[in-house]
A and B are shown apart, each in its own frame.
Chain A
Amino acid sequence: MNKVKKLNVVLAGQANVGKSVIFNYLTGLHQHIGNWPGKTVEKAEGTLWYKDYFIDLLDLPGIYSLSTYSIEEIISREYIAFQKPDFIINVVDATHLERNLIFTLQLLEMERPMVLALNMVNLLKEKGLEIDFKKLEEFLGIPVVPVVAINGKGLTQVLDRGIELVKQNFKPKSLKYGKELEEILENLILTLKDLDLPYPKRWLALKLLEKDQKIEGLIKNKRPKILEKVKELSLELERLHGEDSSIIVAHERCNLVFQIVNETVKITKPKKLSFNEKLDNLTSHKIWGYPIMVTILALMFISVFKFGNLISLFFENLTSGWQEIWQTVLGTSMWSSLGWTIIESALSLISLALPYIIPFYLFLFFLEDWGYLARVAFLTDNLMHKIGIHGKGCIPLILGFGCNVPACLSCRIMETQRERFITGFLVTFVPCSATTVIIMGLVGKFVGISWALILYLFAFLIILILGKLVSKILSGESVELIMEMPDYKTPNLKTVILQTWFRLKEFIFIAGPLVIISGLIITALHQTDYTLKIAEFLSPITVKWLGLPAITGSLLIFGILRKELILLILATLLGTTNFSQVLSQHQMIVLSLVSMFYIPCVATIAALGKEFGWKKSLGVTVFKVIFAITVGGIVSRLLNLI
């Protein structure tokens, strides 16, 4: 029997090319989604057996270049250079060959064996395009395999050709750019000759001409003299081309790609407007786009809430007797209560995940895979700029209305760390479904629906102001929207479901321990009557400053676990849901306001911690507590004036 051979393979490509469909097709459930060490960038790894090979497949993030623009780009190029994968599968969208090939050239510069998986070839005809695969293969010097990822067509061939490359010890030839650039490159490569760095020499030379600061930094540490030579050569190149050398390299790639496409792609018939293009025209329309967006999002919320409520109720009924059974069997001692708390925390996680997080993720990935999210970003970019982020930031904020947890985790769609943090921070101010329960259950029911709406508007105002402030305070340039507008396509359900499943698993791993531990602490406090003491201790804030009954102190402590507990426990303590017995209308408004802002719930704190580090997560939490108390007190005084 043959010995098992291990192969390390990466999938690389731009966004929206079907990379994750291929990844899911090949690895199925044998995948693990985590983060790159120390980074808030998702790392998707999976394994598969193919013939005699055990393949470790890594799905690199969807990027457009190997520069230093985003963390994803740096991670990708470092991975390829340091880990030296046995081969790269470069997934490209055959219907957008020209833009895709720009990235392909950059990958080829990394000088690893590579197979070009030309995806979506089934759509070429409809688009009136014809590609000469053989010729493309000759131009690029690597295997080109036509693929239809959604039904797996061509994928085994991709692996076969890749394995062949490994057997042959294949090295891709480097493609030649313009004559002047090549001369300068040759010269530069000579000076880099005995430099000890894991990157290919030609690639280093190109990056130096592109004024890549990371690479400049590396060289500066090793041999600063080289940088002088680089400067001299760049100037020479700039004199010849009349452009900055960093742009010349990119320009040369564009030129080469243009040539290749010109020779290999034929436009066979004038394009007719397809259904998807008509849909695009309608959904991005400067007037109709907006009502359509509102309708789609409203539908999403209504159906998630309806479905969520149903499941919640069902789940509550199912588990309602469990505590009693537990107590009859194990008594009501401290230890028994703590044991029950663990079960209760686990149940509360399920009751959060099942009705809200899963449906929201399903919707999110469905809309993403379909192509609609990019339209939302296009339509809302203007609005989002007012709060210091760009159009893509709208998506986490919208999700925040359902649950802050998936919203925080979805901040990854923003490019830079700065943008991600601003978005994540603002997300925690969006009233989530639990907050909605409080606002509607207190203010909506006992004060009036208009006051509930005022609270919402107030939240938007706060988000607007804080967004402006934070983007001013945080250093760094705000990023302008540069985004590919993907064509609409039929969403791939398997991808949508798998994405949801792996994100859910991730969420349970982050939030689970924290929810259980904090549940235990709070139960322990409650058992030892400390909650009352804490409520007393907090009374200068709750009673004096906020003008609330002392009991709210312990309610707010419980609310850290899940915000709707504030209302549930109040009802338990009162033995009725007629809250007007203990709270005046003003107090209801203040309590709702404070609950809305005062702290992200434990699960959200965990999500923030995972995405932005525990220091920032704690910082946000402390800020929110102080902020909510301050605002609550001011509003309480203002209300008394009315």
Chain B
Amino acid sequence: MKEISLIQAKENEEMIIVSIMAGQVATKRLADMGLVQDTKIKILRKAPFGPIEIGVRGSKLVLGRGLAAKIFVKHL
């Protein structure tokens, strides 16, 4: 399956995180929020040119667009 950046994923798609290409601090922070490799996520909502809301581990998280661009996902 093709890897895409999280901002390219469409609403309501279920994806799995392949890699996170952010800096150490941001990656650590995402990991603390439960976003690590192999985590299943669902794209809930995308604000136009804005952040992305995802469903992860039973709750909802909003990620800024710049950060979402550094998260790579593929289809389940």
Contacts and interface: CB of A to CB of B under 8 A. Distances in A.
Contact of B64 (A243, A480, A487): A480
Interface in B26-46: 26-34, 36-37, 39, 45-46
A96 B60 CA distance: 9
A538 interface: no
B32 A69 contact: yes
Nearest to B38: A251
A93 to B, nearest CB: 8
Contacts of A592: none
A59 interface: no
Nearest to B36: A251
Contact of B50 (A98, A102, A374, A379): A379
A132 to B, nearest CB: 16
Nearest to B33: A64
Contacts of B34: 98-99, 102, 254, 257
Contact of B24 (A246, A378, A379, A385): A246
Contact of B31 (A251, A257, A286, A480): A251
Contacts of A391: 50-51, 62, 64
A397 B46 CA distance: 24
Contacts of A487: 60
Residue in A102, A247, A251, A377 whose Cβ sees the most chain B Cβ within 10 Å: A247
A102 B47 CA distance: 28
Main SS at interface, chain A: helix
Contacts of A289: 47
Given A67-B28, A246-B28, A96 B58 contact: yes
A482 B67 contact: yes
B24 A254 contact: no
B63 A99 contact: no
Interface string A205-233: 00000110000000000000000000000
A334 interface: no
A246 B22 CA distance: 13
B65 interface: yes
Given A378-B51, A382-B48, A390 B64 contact: yes
B26 to A, nearest CB: 7
A65 interface: yes
B50 A99 contact: no
Nearest to A483: B62
B29 A482 contact: yes
A96 B59 contact: yes
B56 interface: yes
A434 interface: no
Given A69-B25, A250-B28, A97 B58 contact: yes
A303 to B, nearest CB: 27
Interface string A58-99: 000000110101000000000000000000000000011111
A284 interface: yes
B62 A243 contact: no
Given A97-B58, A284-B45, A247 B36 contact: yes
B37 to A, nearest CB: 7
A284 B26 CA distance: 25
Given A480-B64, A481-B63, A483-B61, A379 B47 contact: yes
A637 B16 CA distance: 60
Nearest to B58: A98
B31 A254 contact: yes
Contact of B30 (A379, A482, A485): A482
B26 A485 contact: no
Contacts of A211: 24, 28
Contacts of B24: 211, 244, 246
B10 interface: no
Interface string A419-450: 00000000000000000000000000000000
- Which 8 residue pairs spanning A and B have beta carbons closest together? A250-B31, A65-B32, A382-B50, A480-B64, A481-B64, A485-B60, A480-B67, A98-B57
Interface of B: 23-34, 36-37, 39, 45-51, 53, 56-67
5 contacts: A95-B58, A99-B57, A381-B51, A481-B63, A481-B67
Interface of A: 64-65, 67, 69, 95-99, 102, 210-211, 243-244, 246-247, 250-251, 254, 257-258, 261, 284, 286, 289, 374, 377-379, 381-382, 385, 390-391, 477, 480-485, 487
Given A67-B28, A254-B36, A382-B49, 20 more contacts: A64-B33, A69-B25, A69-B32, A99-B33, A210-B28, A243-B37, A247-B37, A250-B31, A250-B32, A251-B36, A254-B31, A284-B47, A286-B47, A289-B47, A391-B62, A480-B63, A481-B62, A482-B61, A482-B63, A484-B60
